[in-house]
Structure formats: C-alpha cells, structure tokens
Structure 1
Amino acid sequence: MKIPFDNSYALLPDRFFARQSPTPVAEPELFALNRALAFDLGLTLDNWGDTDAAQLFSGNQIPEGADPLAAAYAGHQFGNWVPQLGDGRAVLLGEIVTPLGRRDVQLKGAGRTPWSRGGDGRAWLGPVLREYVVSEAMHALGIPTTRALAAVTTGETVWREAPLPGAILTRVAASHIRVGTFQYFSARQDVEALRTLTDHVIARHYPDADGPEGLLSAVVAAQADLIARWMSVGFIHGVMNTDNMALSGETIDYGPCAFMDGYHPARKFSSIDRFGRYAFDQQPDIAVWNLSQLASTLLPLFPDPEAAIPRLTEVLNGFAPLFRDRWTALFRAKLGLTRDEEEDATLASDLLKIMSRGEDDFTLVFRGLGDGTAAEHITDRPAFDAWSSRWQARRSRDETSAAEQVALMDRTNPAVIPRNHRIEEMIEAAVAGDRQPFDRLTAALATPFTENAELARAPRSDEIVQATFCGT
C-alpha cells in the first residue's frame, strides 16, 4: 500500500518535536481496520492482508515517506500548569495528502518517547477500542473528530492495575496541534517558535485568517460550534485540559468520555474529575478558559501586546453568542423546527429542566419526540404535558408540515449512541477474545439514526456505569 506522505510538521524547527520511531511489538495482530475511512483517504488496500496491515499499524514496519516524531507540548491539567507534556505514548508517522485534505497519521500506544515521564508508552486494548468506537460514532453523528483507522493487538502485556492485553490505535486527524502546543513555547518565551507555529496553523487550517488575532477568532468559532454539537447529543469529554483542545476544532483524546444516559446538567463520569470541573454543563465555560490561555500565548506576536489585550478579549467574548446561536439552531432542529423564533432557546431549555428533575434519558426523550414516545421516558409527566402543548403550538407556526418536522427530528436525534454499558460490555468481551459485541456496536453506530431496539435501550439498573477511566 503506497501512502502519499507530505510531512510539513517535520519541517518545523527541531525543538517542536523529537524524532522517534515506534517501538516494535512482539506479535501484532489486526483487530479492526476502518476500510471506509481508508477509502475516503484514498488509501489502496488491494493486495494487503491482515498480517501486512498489522505490521504497518503496529509500527513494526515504517512505510516509505514516513518521518516519525513525538510532538512537544505543555498544558493545564485540571487547571494545574504542567510546562512539559508532549506525546508520551504516541508517534506521528507523518502527514498524508488525501481527498479530505491533509491528515496526520498517528500511532497511539507506540512506545516510550522523550515525553513519557516514566510511563511505558503503551496502551491496553480497552482504551484503544473505546476511542475507536466513540470517535467513529462521533463522526457518524456529524461532529468534528479525530478518526480511527485501525486497532492492532500487540501480543504483549501492559501492566496497569492488572496485566492487560496491549494494543495500538492508528488515529487520523486534521492535525494534532493543541492549545498546549502554543503554551509550550510561550512558557519558554520562544517568540520565534510562536510565530512559526501561528503561521503553520493558519496555512494548514485557516488560510483566510489574518495574523494571530484572525487565528484566535477562527479557533473560537470552531470551538463554539464543536462544544454546541457535544451538548446537542449529551456528550461529556471528561478531560478538557488545554493539551486536549485541538486548534483544528476536532474532538481529540477520548479518555474518560461518555454519553449521558439520564440527563443532569452537572453530570460527570470521569473518575479523576473529583470536583466536576469538566462536567457536562461546564464544557462551554471551560472552552472559553482554554481559549483564553491560547490568547495569552499570542500576545507576544503583537507590536504592542498591552494594546492587543482588549482586542483579543473582544474575540474571546464572541464565544458566548456564537455558542448560543449554534446551540439554539441544533436544538431547534431536535425539536423539528426550521424557522427562527425568539422563544426557541427557552423552549429547548425548559424541556431539559423537566428532564433533569427525573434524570430522564437524554437520547430516548429526544428521539421519542419524533415518534410520540417521549412522554414514556419522562418522570414529571404533568410538566411535560404542559411543555408539549407549548411545543405543539410552536410547531403549528413553523413553515413545514408535520411529516417534514418528524423527518427532521428523526435525522437529528440519534436512535443509537455508544452507551457506557455497551462500551464496557464490548471491552470485556474483546479482552476475553470475543469480538462480536465490537462488530455489532460499530455497525450500529455507523448509522446512528437507524432504529436498533437492543442497542438503543437505556441500561438496566445493574448495567449503569457510574465512572469512566482515563485511557492510559
């Protein structure tokens, strides 16, 4: 398989990364290959067997044209400053030019790097499959995200709280440049590197942006759209550290992430988020906090940094209206509405308030609006009935027919999401050597607006997952 590498990041100064080849593994076996994504990327898989693919996607075989490296970055982790992080268990093979545009190809779990900080640089099968499944589900839902190209088992044991099967994920992204990448050079007062990085990101992602202020404005808009999309499907990232916010506007780093079952605005799942910093309803505010850290790194690029502060502050203040407008548009569609009315945001918010009282299932309630079953999933029925009367009156004023409204709801409100209990079930089965739950889940999530009675159902009381864990 010929891979058209064109490695622009590797042409940046040496202090941006460490050249690093993946560490070979003992007995790689292909667990999953995303052939649909490979096709979209223009990669030809003809004449490649599973053994060849396993050698490539484990890092045992470095393809021609690759220039492997581990990127340097810093970041705020749960608000605490860490001046040096970097790719501690990931190796960027390089960039490829595809019909979708330029894409990074990265091996996650590829061994130790200079940024491993005492870690083994490996990943185990559970987090690899979680990221594979959830990132592809996000893509199918139309949410900007990194993608999963392949998952390979290594034939080696990874030691965490117990011996676990090792695995490597091949991740595809528009880039892996993060807010923390800018912070790394800002902390070192390396203005030249900040200028080089700014020019690189503008050329790669936002060619219409005019300088650092234009870059910040573009990233603010991309993140406002992204977070609104997360909120519209009940997604909780779980670890919105600055090193986990991509300048491309993609969702990146699926650690203790989760889709809500029962709705509550303060819902969190991450086992390490003890105080709810990254809870569901905190995500828009945390996005602004992260973006403000980006803005601070850009100040040295202005002739008069002090005078630039009000301008960048104004750009940051633009997040709130951008997010509000996008959130309203998304929830308007979830209610089957097309014409803009002033009360629409309140109408959607009031439904969420009713749902929060009984922690009603986020996905089932919204999906049930289209087929009339939403009330079956609501605890406070009198409040919902009163709300429904308002909603029906609003629907009658819309410019579309009832059938068109139902069709809009059915293609906006997913029937199937990667529910936590299904993810855990899939991981447990895969570790035991049974890949059928993985295959069933990935097939269903590829068409999330298609009914699937078994995978769509909410968890039983004994299946509820209370906490999710970081993918280390």
Structure 2
Amino acid sequence: MHLKINNRFTAELPADPDETNEIRQVSKALFSYVNPTKPSEPKLIHASKEVAELIGISADEIQTEEFLNIFSGKEILPDTHPYAMCYAGHQFGNWAGQLGDGRAINLTEIEHDKQFYTLQLKGAGKTPYSRTADGLAVLRSSIREYLCAEAMHYLGVPTTRSLSLILSGDQVLRDILYNGNPAYEKGAIVCRVAPSFIRFGSFEMLAARNELKNLKQFVEYNIKYYFPEIKGEPKEQYLQFFKTVADTTREMILHWQRVGFVHGVMNTDNMSIHGITIDYGPYGWLENYDPNWTPNTTDSQNRRYRFGNQPQIAQWNLFQLANALYPLINEAEPLEKILESFIIDFNSDYKKMILGKLGIISQADNDDEFISYLESNLQLSETDMTIFYRNLNKIKKSDLAENALKAIGDAFYKPEEIKDTIKENWLLWFTDYLERLNQENTSDDERIALQNSVNPKYVLRNYMAQLAIDAADKGDYSLITELYELLKKPYNEQPEYEKWFAKRPDWARSKVGCSMLSCSS
C-alpha cells in the first residue's frame, strides 16, 4: 500500500511528553503517543471496497497480509506514530473531566485526491485514557459499529465510515448487562475513517484547565484545516467556527429524525466538530414510533437521549461548546444568538423535512397542527415508523381515506387495535392528507419518487444486527455481507431482500441486543 501520510495533528499540536502507556491525567497536551496492542491471530471478516478506494487502497490490496496487519494493529505504518486523543466532556449532563480515547487509537492522517482522512482503530488496546478498562472491543459491538456507519452513509446521514472489521483472535471479558455476570467474547477491531475525530470535549478540556494558549491554537488549527473558508478578525473567526459547527450539527440531527435513528449516547465527547455521527454504541432505529424511546439501558430511567429529545440535547451540547469558546470571544450575546437560532432553524427545517416525507412540497398555515396530528396518531397504536412512511408510496391522489389507511396497514404491530376512536383519528388525518396531495402540482409518480428518495425501505434494525452477530459468533459471516450489500441501497426496492422490509419480530421485543443495549463493548 502506498498511502500518502500527512500527520498534521501530531506535527502542529502539543503532545504529551510521557510516552509510557499508563493510565494518568494528561495536561497541556491534545494527545499521547501510543501503539496498538498486537492481536494474536487477526482475521479479516469484511472490508469496504468503497471506503478503501476513498483513501487510496485498491480492492486487491485489501486481501494482502499487509492490510490485515496494519488495520488490526499488528504492524505500524512506516513514517507514522499512532496516538490517542485527550479530551473531556459532559456525560448524561454531568461534567466527567478527562475522558480521551480509551479504546481508540489514531493510526495516522492521510491525503488522497486532495482530501484528508484520519484512520482510527477502535478496540486496539489500552491507552493512557482507558481508565479502568482494557481498551479492547468485542465482535458484537464491532459488527454493529461497522455496519451502522456504512448504513448511515448510504442513507445520506453525515457519518464516520468503516474500512475494515477484523477479528483479533483474542478473548475479551465483558459484562454485557452490567449485572455481575461477565463472560468472555471474541475480540475485534474496526478501522474508522473520518476527516478527524475531534470532539466538542476537546475544547471543553482546554477551557476547563484554563489552557487558553492551547485552546486558541487548537481553534485556529481547526479553522485552518477544516474550515478554510472562514476569514476575518480572530474573534469573528471563532464565532463563525461555532456557527458552522452548530449548522452542520443541526443538519445531522435533522437526518437522524428523518430516518428514525437514535444515537443513545449524545455526550459532548461523542459530538464531532464536523457534524458527523460518531461513536456507535447503544444506538437503534425506532421500530414503533415512540419519541420517548432510548436504546441505552444506562439511560432507561431518565431517557435523556430519547429520540424526541435529540434536537434539544444537540443544542445543550453546543451550549457547552460555546462555554468552552467563550474565553476567546469574551462576549456572550453573539454566542447566545447562534444557540437561540439553532432550535428556531431546526423546527423550520423539521417541518419541511416531514412534509417531504409525506410528498408535500408547498407549505400551509396549519402545517404544525397537521404534523402534530400525524405524530399523535402514530402513537395511538404501535406503528412502525419506517414501514409507515415507505408505504405512503402506495397511496394515489384519487384514493379515499379508507383506502389510504389500508395502504399503510402493514405498519401496525397490532392491526386489531385500529378500530373505533383510533380508526376515526386516522381517517380524519388521511382525509386532510389526501386533500393536501390534491393541492400539489406534482403527479403521483413525481410525488412517489420524492418520497422514495427520503423514506428508506431498509434500515439496520437492531434485530437484524443481532442475527448477524449470532451467526458470526458461530463463525458464519455471510449475514454481515448480506446486510452490508442490502444497506448500500436503502431507498431501492431490492425485491431479493424483501424479507428485511418487515416489522420487528415478536421474539426480538425483549431479547438482549434487539431492544435496548448497554455501553458494554
């Protein structure tokens, strides 16, 4: 492999002078040098040819021993010095102090086709930031991360990418339910690819430690390399940096709400400055439409990171980033204006997004009420979000409300409940919906094409990932490949994969890994 190495991060930012791999507090540094733990017997399970091509690796090179050794952490790329990043953060709303890359190691930065990428191994061993953990990852969580990042990309959601999924050949001890019953699982390593893995927490750490010189240097580093369009006086640049991060974050959350994705752990250390989805832990897609659902067992009581609260949490996290940047700006008002406009702009964009899912282009005065009525109806009886929106493409302008209701009937988990008041509510809404469709200038075919471009037919439901995990535990990786191929075309009909266009099966309602998940990986 001939990767073009360009280590800007380590070349220009302050390093931890201590190169021992001991757990510690690291001050006045943005990273620590650390090598991956060598796996005993790495084995490639899957690799993305598309991501490999993105960074300058050919399909033939994927099959080489060099590829296996480098992206399992067994060998170090020439002219590179792997490192773990130092950052802090708020976890579940509470200041957690220093966190850092506890189970992630950045191999290097590379340049290809005038684009820069950071290559990072997740699950490659202990770092100075691993706290009480071992820095490793299990096959279970690695499969979920590997597939989900690629699924999100093809859904059109800003995200990190997945290059490779490799078995380490080692056993890893994990307590999957945090109930005092740890067991050994297969270890694995995922190579993640992104412009960078810089988080809100990186700025929070520097501000909390009053390392203002490093904070200024770090903000200017980010502007120089990732936001070169930002010009002007320093203070104006810092404000523009914050606004750009807020704007891209808003766009990301809007996509999450569009496809029904719930991140599960929206801590400030899991928020990217690039407005991309990072750190796929206990995530999930809504099965039945429930704004109060969270996939995270740790969050099951307070539901801070529930689906319906994601826009508000994004704003809260941006508030923490604003606090971190404040020492460089020394004016609260311009930061507050950006934060206030975040939710205003989000609500406006959300309305357009939902109307788009409904195949409606023109807006009306009663849109808020119209959308609210729909979202209320979706909660009257368990209604599959993905199937409901996708099956709207079966409706014609000439249909009656009764026919329209039948068209989306497969979305109901308990169809016997769709009677009396529930049915009346749905018929009232569909009457309004059909009226709106008939006010549009688009034909049925044009509307359906629009809907099919924003309403996916296939998403990575938790039970699907769990089936792949169960098979992989027995050495069968064919389902990983099948799901990977399916999820590359989530908006296409793909009749050969029709079995995956289905509601969550009853057996998956309470099965570990299919309903809620822990952060254990």
Q: Give 1:236-315 correspondences, 5 Å limit.
A: 236-273=262-299, 274-302=301-329, 305=330, 308-315=331-338
CA distance in 2, matches of 1:419, 1:61: 35
CA distance in 2, matches of 1:326, 1:8: 36
What does residue 13 of structure 1 align with?
14
Q: Give 1:332-411 correspondences, 5 Å limit.
A: 332-372=355-395, 373-378=407-412, 379=418, 380-411=422-453
The structure-2 alpha-carbon separation of the partners of 1:413 and 1:291, relative to structure 1 and needing over 3 Å to count, comes to same
Superposition deviation, residue 43 in structure 1: 2.3
Q: Give 1:193-212 correspondences, 5 Å limit.
A: 193-209=214-230, 210-212=236-238
What does residue 109 of structure 1 align with?
123
Match among 141, 153, 167 for residue 139 of structure 1: 153
Superposition deviation, residue 345 in structure 1: 4.3
Whose radius of gyration is greater, 1 or 2?
A: 2
CA distance in 2, matches of 1:99, 1:418: 31
Alpha-carbon displacement from aligned partner over 1:371-405 (angstroms, at most 9, x marks no partner): 23214424433222211121111112223211100
CA distance in 1, matches of 2:467, 2:111: 37
Using structure 2 for the length normalisation, give the TM-score. Answer: 0.87
Q: Specify the code of the residue in structure 2 equivalent to 1:299.
A: Y
What does residue 84 of structure 1 align with?
98
Q: Give 1:37-56 correspondences, 5 Å limit.
A: 37-56=51-70
CA contact (8 A) 1:147 1:173 kept: yes
Give the SS at the match of 2:298.
coil
Give the SS at the match of 1:357.
coil
Alpha-carbon displacement from aligned partner over 1:340-395 (angstroms, at most 9, x marks no partner): 33434443332121011212100010001012321442443322221112111111
The structure-2 alpha-carbon separation of the partners of 1:136 and 1:345, relative to structure 1 and needing over 3 Å to count, comes to farther
Give the SS at the match of 2:4.
coil
Count residues in correspondence.
468
What does residue 21 of structure 2 align with?
none
CA distance in 2, matches of 1:257, 1:353: 24
Alpha-carbon displacement from aligned partner over 1:106-147 (angstroms, at most 9, x marks no partner): 001111111111211100101111011111111010000001
Verify: 1:36 aligned to 2:50, yes or no.
yes
CA distance in 2, matches of 1:376, 1:115: 48
Superposition deviation, residue 51 in structure 1: 2.9
Q: Specify the code of the residue in structure 1 equivalent to 2:259.
A: V
Structure 1 residues not aligned, in runs of 5+: none
What does residue 87 of structure 2 align with?
73
Q: Specify the code of the residue in structure 2 equivalent to 1:24.
A: K
Give the SS at the match of 1:405.
helix
Percent identical across equivalent pairs?
35
Structure 2 residues not aligned, in runs of 5+: 16-28, 175-181, 231-235, 396-406, 413-417
Match among 450, 457, 462 for residue 507 of structure 2: 462
What does residue 198 of structure 2 align with?
177
The structure-2 alpha-carbon separation of the partners of 1:32 and 1:50, relative to structure 1 and needing over 3 Å to count, comes to farther
Verify: 1:440 aligned to 2:482, yes or no.
yes
Alpha-carbon displacement from aligned partner over 1:51-97 (angstroms, at most 9, x marks no partner): 33211110111122333110000011111211111011111011112
What does residue 403 of structure 2 align with?
none
The structure-2 alpha-carbon separation of the partners of 1:436 and 1:44, relative to structure 1 and needing over 3 Å to count, comes to closer
Give the SS at the match of 2:303.
coil
Q: Specify the code of the residue in structure 1 equivalent to 2:14.
A: P
Superposition deviation, residue 231 in structure 1: 0.7
Give the SS at the match of 1:219.
helix
Q: Specify the code of the residue in structure 2 equivalent to 1:117.
A: R
The structure-2 alpha-carbon separation of the partners of 1:126 and 1:48, relative to structure 1 and needing over 3 Å to count, comes to closer
What does residue 18 of structure 2 align with?
none
CA distance in 2, matches of 1:156, 1:434: 18
Match among 150, 165, 187 for residue 151 of structure 1: 165
CA contact (8 A) 1:185 1:191 kept: yes
The structure-2 alpha-carbon separation of the partners of 1:394 and 1:65, relative to structure 1 and needing over 3 Å to count, comes to farther
Q: Specify the code of the residue in structure 1 equivalent to 2:248.
A: A
Alpha-carbon displacement from aligned partner over 1:391-424 (angstroms, at most 9, x marks no partner): 1111122232111001111121111110111111
Alpha-carbon displacement from aligned partner over 1:422-443 (angstroms, at most 9, x marks no partner): 1111111111111122111111
Give the SS at the match of 1:290.
helix
The structure-2 alpha-carbon separation of the partners of 1:436 and 1:49, relative to structure 1 and needing over 3 Å to count, comes to closer
Q: Specify the code of the residue in structure 2 equivalent to 1:431.
A: D
What does residue 177 of structure 2 align with?
none
The structure-2 alpha-carbon separation of the partners of 1:375 and 1:390, relative to structure 1 and needing over 3 Å to count, comes to farther
